[in-house]
């Protein structure tokens, strides 16, 4: 059976059960029995859809997992090398900035004290160099950027709108662990569960 034929068949089945569901009226025990049978038919169509989808996606997911496993060590090593290079470049830049600023302060202090002439100070300042934010290599350049980041220092002081509850974790603790969590309650909700015989 071709993929197009399978797709058409599933589409017809879904369309049929959808029409049946829309036309369904449940107001008597007899109609409830028909609804149970219709729900069973819907569940069977769902299993057919899932089966077909997984027949296509499972090999793809296996291949994707294999590719990720193959490249993961390379990506980790690459990221570590990049991180090391950037850390060493930043360390040098910070040390160089510190050296230049210290030297400028020293020269300015001597001029202020009167132990160094202004023309000598100008010559010394020119010889100190400047703080570079951009460094040029043979084929590339890199820039030192200062970015502003945010760090939470005390979660208890955060306004409520910045707190996002982890519903999965709350549900697990409240239902499986039987933990009483302030601000959380359990409740009963009824639903229909169908199964084939």
52 class by beta-carbon count within 10 Å (0-12 exposed, 13-18 middle, 19+ buried): middle
What range does the domain containing 94 cover? Answer: 3-134
Q: Is the dihedral of CA 112, 114, 119, 123 positive or negative?
A: negative
Output the CA–CA distances (angstroms, integers) from residue 166 to 99, 173, 195, in the order listed.
48, 11, 32
Confidence label for 6 from pLDDT (cuts 50, 70 and 90): confident
Total structural domains in the chain?
A: 1
pLDDT of residue 86: 93
Average pLDDT over residues 63-91: 95
Whether this model's pTM surpasses 0.75: no
Confidence label for 27 from pLDDT (cuts 50, 70 and 90): very high
- Judge whether 76 lies within some domain: yes
- Judge whether 49 lies within some domain: yes
- Judge whether 166 lies within some domain: no
- Judge whether 167 lies within some domain: no
- Judge whether 171 lies within some domain: no
Task: Note the pLDDT tens digit of each residue in 102-159.
Answer: 999 999 999 899 898 888 888 888 888 888 888 888 999 998 888 898 898 998 888 8
- Judge whether 169 lies within some domain: no
- Judge whether 93 lies within some domain: yes
50 class by beta-carbon count within 10 Å (0-12 exposed, 13-18 middle, 19+ buried): exposed
Classify 53 as helix, strand or coil.
Answer: helix
Helix (H) or strand (E) holding 136: strand 134-136
Confidence label for 160 from pLDDT (cuts 50, 70 and 90): confident
Confidence label for 195 from pLDDT (cuts 50, 70 and 90): confident
């Amino acid at each position: 059976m071709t993929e197009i034929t399978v797709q058409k068949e599933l589409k017809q089945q879904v369309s049929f059960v959808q029409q049946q569901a829309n036309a369904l009226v449940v107001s008597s025990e007899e109609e409830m029995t028909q609804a149970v049978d219709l729900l069973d038919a819907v569940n069977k169509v769902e299993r057919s859809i899932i089966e077909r989808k997984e027949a296509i996606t499972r090999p793809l997911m296996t291949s994707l997992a294999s590719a990720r496993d193959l490249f993961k060590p390379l990506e980790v090593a690459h990221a570590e090398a990049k991180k090391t290079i950037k850390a060493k470049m930043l360390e040098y830049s910070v040390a160089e900035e510190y050296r230049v600023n210290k030297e400028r302060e020293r020269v300015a202090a001597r001029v202020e004290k009167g132990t160094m002439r202004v023309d000598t100070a100008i010559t010394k300042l020119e010889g100190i160099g400047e703080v570079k934010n951009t460094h040029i290599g043979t084929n590339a350049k890199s820039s030192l950027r200062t970015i502003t980041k945010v760090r939470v220092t005390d979660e208890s002081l955060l306004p409520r709108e910045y707190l996002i509850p982890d519903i999965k974790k709350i549900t697990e603790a409240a239902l499986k662990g039987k933990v009483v969590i302030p601000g959380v309650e359990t409740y009963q909700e009824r639903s229909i569960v169908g199964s084939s015989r």
